[in-house]
Amino acid sequence: MEALLVAATNVFSPEALLVLVIGTIVGLFIGALPGLSSTMGVALCIPITFGMDPAIALVLLGAIYCSSVFGGSITAILLRTPGTDAP
């Protein structure tokens, strides 16, 4: 139980929430661009995370991946072109 409280403290810190919002916005743009997949978006953002705290970096990469999967549906619905491929 103690480990869950420590994890919740790390995830809900102001820095992690800010990185979560930024990663979500970046992931939406990556997913909406035709030709960029969600895994490619994560791979492109890995160099950004080298100087970050590991927990914050995982929050950033997870937010980019999840929101880019959703962002792929934007072009699929509006333009009838495939957004991102299947993960």
pLDDT of residue 10: 87
Using the predicted structure, report yes or no on whether residue 65 has a pLDDT greater than 60. Answer: yes
pLDDT one-digit tens code per residue, 42-59: 999 999 999 999 999 999
DSSP secondary structure code for residue 81 in this structure: S
pTM of the model: 0.86
The per-residue b/e assignment along 56-81, b for 16 or more CB within 10 angstroms, e otherwise, is bbbbbbebbbbbbbbbbeebbeeeee
> Residue 87: pLDDT above 60?
no
